[in-house]
Amino acid sequence: MALPSNLSLLLLILFSFHSQLLQVHAFTTRSDQDFSFMKSVRNAIDMASEEKYDYIVIGGGTAGCPLAATLSEKHSVLVLERGGTPGTYPNVLNVAGFFANLMQSVVFRPNLAVWQSVVKEALLEAGVGPDNGLSVILNTDIFFEMTEPSAVGVIYTDSNGKSHKALIRKRGEIILSAGAIGSPQLLLLSGVGSDTYLSSQNISVIHSQPNVGKFMADNPRNNINLVIPFPFEASSAQVVGITSDYYIEAFSLSLSFFPIPLPFSLYPSSVSTELSLASIVEKIAGPLSHGSLQLASPNDVKVAPHVGFNYFADPVDLSRCVSGVRKIGDLLNTNSMDPFKYKAFNGERGFMFLGPALPSNNSDDSAMEDYCRSTVTTFWHYHGGCLVGKVVDGDFRVMGVNSLRVVDGSTFILSPGTNPQATLMMLGRYMGLKMLRERRQPIS
């Protein structure tokens, strides 16, 4: 059903954000960058003041790029991205390049570095195996009201401050892929959110949706860092121990530093010294704790919103952390880890920690909980804000608003597996194919 035009127009005007654009795919915030190597990339200042597309994807990130590349096989697509150009992997913006990148950089069998092999053996000795139990993250309930408002376009601002309008054609859609922080922020700024909250911010309410910006979650990360008594190669995570409560990964790095030039230093001050470090990192599965996102500015999308994740507010998360930290203690007691100990003057052997050591008594729950709370940090796997079943339906459509979807990590109830990026790329590709199929169906 067609909407009153003032409602559509209001939504259009409120879809305002600072960005550059490109015609079919991505772009940048700086006008001095050379786009000639990417035919589809335009700086926003070179765009017409008004154009129409079949699809507008906001956010050329992990989910947005494969989604846009897939849709652009058959339709005109505009991606609005406020970050830089994907110079490292320009081919990710076409289907062949996307799969090549996937196989070369994301899904491949690695040659294990030494520290990774050690942790793999230690994990197996400590009884942690590759339990790849799948978790279902998508809710299949569908709620879709044809009588609600429709998204019709976006207004974006180029780096000179000039506004441009991009509209969608008949049967077109706008897809938010701006990530767990960007997508709820854009919905709120556009008037889709709790009516009392939006009114308190003087934002006109397009559609009252109390769950936008809610259920923001981040997997707590806790790690130990060991100083290794011999030179050691750097490695990123290649091995993971998977349990239903936590994941354990490992990293190693070599730090160069210049010794402090004390008068009696053993080292000449001009000689750098290498410090080998190895980390064992625990990521809490889930998590169950969550917080919310609030706007820091009611009208400027460039002002990052305030987000709270309430780490360990749910006691289950804390007990998972304690179990994981205990398991790290078990790893350190394995034979595989023995060569990484130092020998003290009294002949005793032990690990040298950089930063907090594990509590000496790992059966002391309260000491373990304090350790979890005091050493918690982020794995950057934050998600939520536009959850499936609460803000979007099982087809990722914003419930109550026509022609508007959210396809990114903000829809996730749980962060999938050890690292979410591959799942998000596949979500973009999957949704692109699904939308192409839907588009071929006759209008009922």
Ligand X SMILES: Cc1cc2nc3c(=O)[nH]c(=O)nc-3n(C[C@H](O)[C@H](O)[C@H](O)COP(=O)(O)OP(=O)(O)OC[C@H]3O[C@@H](n4cnc5c(N)ncnc54)[C@H](O)[C@@H]3O)c2cc1C
CB 56, min distance to ligand X, A: 11
* CA 341 – CA 338 distance, rounded (Å): 6
Pairing relation of β-strands 50-58 and 383-385? unpaired
Stretch in the footprint of ligand X (CB under 6 A) among 122-130, 180-188, 321-329, 432-440 = 180-188
173: contact with ligand X by CB under 6 A: no
* CA 248 – CA 237 distance, rounded (Å): 10
Please, which of residues 80-99 interact with ligand X by CB under 6 A?
A: 80-83
Interacting residue with ligand X among 24, 58, 295, 399 (CB under 6 A): 58
Reduced to 3 states (helix: H, G, I; strand: E, B; else coil), residue 407 is: coil
Stretch in the footprint of ligand X (CB under 6 A) among 4-12, 256-264, 312-320, 417-425 = 417-425
Interacting residue with ligand X among 10, 23, 61, 317 (CB under 6 A): 61
Stretch in the footprint of ligand X (CB under 6 A) among 56-64, 115-123, 222-230, 276-284 = 56-64
424: contact with ligand X by CB under 6 A: yes
Known binding site: residues?
A: 380-381, 409, 420-421
The residue (of 80 and 278) whose beta carbon lies closer to ligand X is 80
The residue (of 375 and 410) whose beta carbon lies closer to ligand X is 410
421: contact with ligand X by CB under 6 A: yes
Query: Looking at the chain, how many residues does it have?
Result: 444
Distances (CA, A) of 248 to 77, 123, 131, 192: 40, 8, 12, 38
Stretch in the footprint of ligand X (CB under 6 A) among 248-256, 329-337, 345-353, 415-423 = 415-423
Residue nearest ligand X, CB atom distance: 61
Please, which of residues 274-313 interact with ligand X by CB under 6 A?
A: 301
* CA 94 – CA 102 distance, rounded (Å): 12
385: contact with ligand X by CB under 6 A: no
The residue (of 64 and 324) whose beta carbon lies closer to ligand X is 64
Long-range (24+ apart) CB contacts under 8 A made by 38-45 are 38/85, 38/90, 38/93, 40/93, 41/85, 43/158, 43/159, 44/19, 44/20, 44/156, 44/157, 44/158, 44/159, 44/164, 45/20, 45/158, 45/159, 45/160, 45/162
Distances (CA, A) of 290 to 159, 173, 283, 311, 344: 35, 30, 16, 7, 44
217: contact with ligand X by CB under 6 A: no
Please, which of residues 10-29 interact with ligand X by CB under 6 A?
A: 17, 19
The residue (of 359 and 420) whose beta carbon lies closer to ligand X is 420
CB 178, min distance to ligand X, A: 4
42: contact with ligand X by CB under 6 A: no
Name the CA dihedral angle for 314, 315, 316, 319, rounded to a multiple of 10 degrees: 140
Residues facing residue 248 across a β-bridge: 241, 282
Reduced to 3 states (helix: H, G, I; strand: E, B; else coil), residue 436 is: helix
The residue (of 196 and 236) whose beta carbon lies closer to ligand X is 236
CB 287, min distance to ligand X, A: 14
The residue (of 8 and 62) whose beta carbon lies closer to ligand X is 62
Pairing relation of β-strands 383-385 and 240-242? unpaired
- One-letter amino acid at 12 equals L
Interacting residue with ligand X among 23, 43, 222, 419 (CB under 6 A): 419
Known binding site for FAD: residues?
A: 380-381, 409, 420-421
CB 38, min distance to ligand X, A: 15
CB 267, min distance to ligand X, A: 34
Report the 3 state secondary structure along 364-405: CHHHHHHHHHHHCEECCCCEEECCECCCECCCCEECCCECEE
324: contact with ligand X by CB under 6 A: no
Site residue total, ligand X (CB under 6 A): 28
Stretch in the footprint of ligand X (CB under 6 A) among 36-44, 177-185, 225-233, 392-400 = 177-185
* CA 341 – CA 107 distance, rounded (Å): 34
Stretch in the footprint of ligand X (CB under 6 A) among 30-38, 58-66, 203-211, 395-403 = 58-66
62: contact with ligand X by CB under 6 A: yes
Half-sphere exposure of 379 (CA within 13 A, CB side): 31
47: contact with ligand X by CB under 6 A: no
Query: How is residue 148 written in tokens?
Result: 């609600």
The angle at the Cα of 62, spanning 59 to 67, to the nearest 5 degrees, equals 70
Interacting residue with ligand X among 86, 182, 241, 359 (CB under 6 A): 182
Cα R_g (the chain), whole angstroms = 25
Distances (CA, A) of 236 to 187, 201, 231, 232, 360: 36, 43, 16, 13, 28
Contacts with ligand X, residue ranges (CB under 6 A): 17, 19, 58-64, 80-83, 177-180, 182, 186, 301, 380-381, 408-409, 419-421, 424
